[in-house]
Amino acid sequence: MRLLPFTLLCCIGLTAQSINFTSEFIYEQAPFPSCHASTLAETPQGLIAAWFGGTHERHKDVGIWSSRLVNGKWTSPVELANGVQNASLRHPCWNPVLFQMPGAELLLFYKVGPSPADWWGMLMRSTDGGLSWSTPEKLPEGILGPIKNKPVLLKDGTLLCPSSSEHDGWRVHFESTKDAGRTWQKTAAINDGKEFSAIQPSVLFHADGRLQILCRSKNGFVLEAFSKDNGQTWSPLKKTSIPNPNSGTDAVTLRDGRQLLVYNHVTKRSRQWGGDRSPLNVSLSTDGKHWKSMTVLEQEPKQEFSYPAVIQTQDGRVHITYTWKRQRIKYVSMGLPE
């Protein structure tokens, strides 16, 4: 790993002495030219990451690939799943999502299908931190699983999966399971896909018991909504002050109660005028409403640094993976003050 320069704002109380920041590529070479949509989880055996890789997004050879962090080094990528249906039909894979059930299985959700409007949900399980995996199982009809960002475990043991659909406008809904994906419940969409077009929510926790989602949108800004009943019902979607160039984000509630967001601080207009999914930013908030910049992970003009995934591990460190120019997956680890 190499130490990188970073930009901090004093108003959030962080100093160069209070944070250490490292970054590296998960792999330098792989048997596929293009990759996207990474995810990561902490297992009892250490960190694991996954993403989809192949000739290019939507190509039928795109599969789900994975690497584990072992003794400080990422293992060579291995393919965990593909979209082969039979001898003459193969579909691309999409958007893996990892989640470690406490004291139980590591879950790998992903999608298979010709497009996001027509894909279906799949699930694999591991009992050894991703060394070996179960046979892929298709989720029940209408259940997609977490669509890009990680699910959250509620106090009653419910795994709440932030999901969305694209076949009838961009609409957000939620799926939940109390038995690690063996049986499911699903809410109705919380938006009509017309006034606000939203997908790929992240779920945040607040001290007063509310949940908050932050969503990718076509509206030029990250969208938000709140729930007072553990995700059964939600307030109407509203724009935040955070720009969004129609690109995926991810967020996590830190152990100290602060919210951390990874996103492209790019306006819809600037992308139309030649900007792209750069820069890639990290911001912090104490209330989920007012955000202050912490650091810029990437800022090369007219390049793509996108689709971040972020978690906080038991030791308090924050870990981020993201797409680097569609060529590799980059990994960042940073320590934050308590």
Does the global pTM surpass 0.85?
A: yes
Q: What is the pLDDT of residue 198?
A: 97
Amino acid at 106: L
Long-range interactions of 268-277: CB distance < 8 A, separation 24+: 268/218, 268/219, 268/220, 268/243, 268/244, 269/220, 270/245, 271/245, 271/246, 274/302, 275/245, 275/301, 275/302, 276/245, 276/302, 276/303, 276/304, 277/245, 277/247, 277/303, 277/304, 277/305, 277/306
Please check whether residue 28 lies inside any domain of the structure.
yes
Q: What is the pLDDT of residue 20?
A: 81
Q: What is the pLDDT of residue 104?
A: 96
Nearest one of 228, 246, 97, 232 to 166, comparing CA atoms: 246
Please check whether residue 14 lies inside any domain of the structure.
no
Residues 6+ apart with CB under 8 A from 81: 63, 64, 93, 108, 110, 122, 124, 136
How far apart are the C-alpha atoms of 204 and 214, rounded to whole Å?
Answer: 8
Q: What is the pLDDT of residue 13?
A: 41
How far apart are the C-alpha atoms of 134 and 187, rounded to whole Å?
Answer: 28
Please check whether residue 196 lies inside any domain of the structure.
yes
- Give me the domain span that covers residue 213: 21-334
Q: What is the pLDDT of residue 6?
A: 35
Q: What is the pLDDT of residue 12?
A: 40
Please check whether residue 4 lies inside any domain of the structure.
no
Please check whether residue 16 lies inside any domain of the structure.
no
In this structure, what token pair is assigned to residue 45?
Answer: 């055996």
Look up residue 231 and give its DSSP letter. T
Please check whether residue 177 lies inside any domain of the structure.
yes
CATH number of the structural domain spanning residue 224: 2.120.10.10
Please check whether residue 8 lies inside any domain of the structure.
no
Q: What is the pLDDT of residue 8?
A: 34
Residues β-bridged to residue 52:
36, 64
Average pLDDT over all residues of the chain: 92
Q: What is the pLDDT of residue 270?
A: 65
Q: What is the pLDDT of residue 16?
A: 38
* Structural domain total, the chain: 1
CA atoms within 13 Å, Cβ hemisphere of 232: 4
Please check whether residue 167 lies inside any domain of the structure.
yes
pLDDT in tens, the chain (338 residues): 333 333 333 334 443 334 688 999 999 999 999 999 999 999 999 999 999 999 999 999 999 999 999 999 999 999 999 999 999 999 999 999 999 999 999 999 999 999 999 999 999 999 999 999 999 999 999 999 999 999 999 999 999 999 999 999 999 999 999 999 999 999 999 999 999 999 999 999 999 999 999 999 999 999 999 999 999 999 999 999 999 999 999 999 999 999 999 999 998 666 655 567 999 999 999 999 999 999 999 999 889 999 999 999 999 999 999 999 999 999 999 988 55
How far apart are the C-alpha atoms of 273 and 140, rounded to whole Å?
Answer: 42
Q: Count of CB atoms within 10 A of residue 22's CB? A: 14
